[in-house]
Amino acid sequence: MNAKISMLFYAKKAKAATSGLIPIYLRITVDGKRIEISSKRFVLPEKWSQQQGRMMGNSEEARSINAYLDILKGKVYDAQREIIQDGNLVSVETLKNKLLGAEVKHRMLIPIFQDHNDRMQKLVGKEFAPGTLGRYITCLSHTQEFLKWKFKTSDIDIKKIDYAFLNDFEFYLRTEKSCNNNSAVKYLKNFGKIIRICLANGWMERDPYLNYHSKFNEVTREFLNEREIESLIKKDFNNERISLVRDIFLFSCFTGLAYIDTKQLTQNNINLGLDGNKWIFTKRQKTKTTSNIPLLPQAEAIVEKYKNHKSVINSGKLLPVLSNQKMNSYLKEIADLCGIDKELTYHIARHTFATTVTLSNGVSIESVSKMLGHKSIKTTQHYAKILDAKVSEEMNFMSENFKKSAKYKIV
């Protein structure tokens, strides 16, 4: 929207020189805000028309001063046009800087984004997980590729990022990068953190996310049922490495701990709870929330099994956890050997704890939420929805059986 500009020349009597001459000033008003700029021209009070904003008379001096004032007025309109052409907002500040030749510092997006990632990298293991850094690195890469695709440039002034920019970026992610809905929304959420940094520092005047809306599609979380858990427990792999991975995975099935939280456990995390039984007391690395979990007999048996393992003794950790990549690689092999027709990843253990181990056995959703270290019970409610779907599936199966049988037939 174009800013409304008005101009007024006036002689400032309060600054009269000893010679009696008074300076002529230009007052510029933009959307109710005003600035005053000296014209560096002087006039006798009796020769100045305050009403017309000009020097009276037809003398050579009057014609010269009035012509100069017209030129100065033209320069203001020229400055307004240049500011608009540069894609910036017309304000008293931008007009003054343009007229006085003051250098306006342009803050560019990519260095700000890179500085954020560099700071995050130094905090990996302290405040952030490596995976979190990886997502921001990928988001930066997508941003750079988008700028070349859309604007044929390697960087952009942050003040040019608006609602249309976000829509175009989302379109690019969905089409050129083939991102699904949740991936695209996640990248826009990561990008939003960079924008919030700019807003907090006063580098941007308007939040481009103000009217922007996006929503994650609910994903059905995979988990193991009782039969599949039992097949894992009873399977004899005749391979020490595969058995170890199976045991660590089962430990998380019975504690609900994510991979990184399991990996970081030490004996110090196990203490007696208020009930006199052993509990795990820890904090989730992802959210920094407290996660206190009663140590079930199955989990305790696994801890006992590996307490004298060479890796446990050397590292001081509670369990000999392999890298996440190796764990997931072995889990795929384990699924095949146990006849589990699911893409088994380590995180499924956490989902299994929430569903099959706890909620399905009557543990309240509030207790499950606390043990999982969720910040909001809404996150835990996703698991309850999974169970509702399972109830529906089983009831439909039973209904079909009833149709085929005379049992419970009502006439």
Q: Is it the case that residue 100 has pLDDT exceeding 90?
A: no
Closest to 24 (Cα-Cα) out of 1, 61, 64, 55: 55
pLDDT tier at 253, thresholds 50, 70, 90: very high
Residue 1 has pLDDT above 60, yes or no: no
Instruction: Say yes or no: domain 109-200 is CATH 1.10.150.
Output: yes
The answer to whether residue 399 scores a pLDDT higher than 80 is no
Instruction: State yes or no: pLDDT of 102 exceeds 60.
Output: yes
Backbone phi and psi for residue 397, each to the nearest 5 degrees, phi listed first? -65, -45
Could you tell me which of 112, 337, 149 has the C-alpha nearest to residue 241? Answer: 337
pTM beyond 0.75: the answer is no
Asked if residues 11 and 48 have their Cβ atoms less than 8 Å apart, the reply is: yes
Query: Does the pLDDT of residue 112 top 90, yes or no?
Result: yes
Write down how long the chain is. Answer: 411
Q: Which residues of 206-232 are buried (b: 16+ CB within 10 A; e: fewer)?
A: ebbbeeeeeeeeeeebebbeeebbebb
Q: What is the DSSP string of 172-191?
A: HHHHTS---HHHHHHHHHHH
User: What pLDDT sits at residue 393?
Assistant: 66
Report pLDDT digits (tens) over 303-350.
999 999 999 999 999 999 999 899 999 999 999 999 999 999 999 999
Give residues with Cβ within 8 angstroms of 1, minimum separation 6: none
pLDDT band with cut points at 50, 70 and 90 for residue 404: confident
State residue 243's pLDDT score.
Answer: 95
Distance CA 217, CA 197 (A): 27
Q: What are phi and psi of 401, to 5 degrees?
A: -65, -40
Write down the mean pLDDT value for the chain: 89
Q: What is the pLDDT of residue 97?
A: 82
pLDDT at 410: 64
Measured at the alpha carbon of residue 380, what is the angle toward residues 374 and 384, in degrees to the nearest 5? 165
pLDDT at position 164 is 95
Q: HSE (CB half, 13 Å, CA atoms) of 180?
A: 5
Portion of the chain with pLDDT greater than 70, in percent: 95
159 vs 18, residue with greater confidence: 159
Give residue 9's pLDDT band: very low, low, confident or very high (50, 70, 90): very high
Domain ranges of the chain: 5-100, 109-200, 226-397
Asked if 43 and 22 count as a contact pair (C-beta separation under 8 A), the reply is yes
- Tracing tokens 């990561």 back to the chain, one arrives at 190
Over the stretch 281-311, which tens digit does the pLDDT of each residue have?
A: 998 887 788 889 999 999 999 999 999 999 9
What is the CATH class of 226-397? mainly alpha
Instruction: Assign 38 to helix, strand or coil.
Output: strand
- CB 75 within 8 Å of CB 37: no
DSSP string covering 281-298 = EEE-TTT--EEEEE--HH
- Give the three-state DSSP class for 200: helix
More confident residue, 399 or 280: 280
The string of pLDDT tens digits covering residues 16-52 is: 887 889 999 999 998 888 989 889 999 999 999 988 9
Write down the residue that tokens 């699911």 correspond to.
342
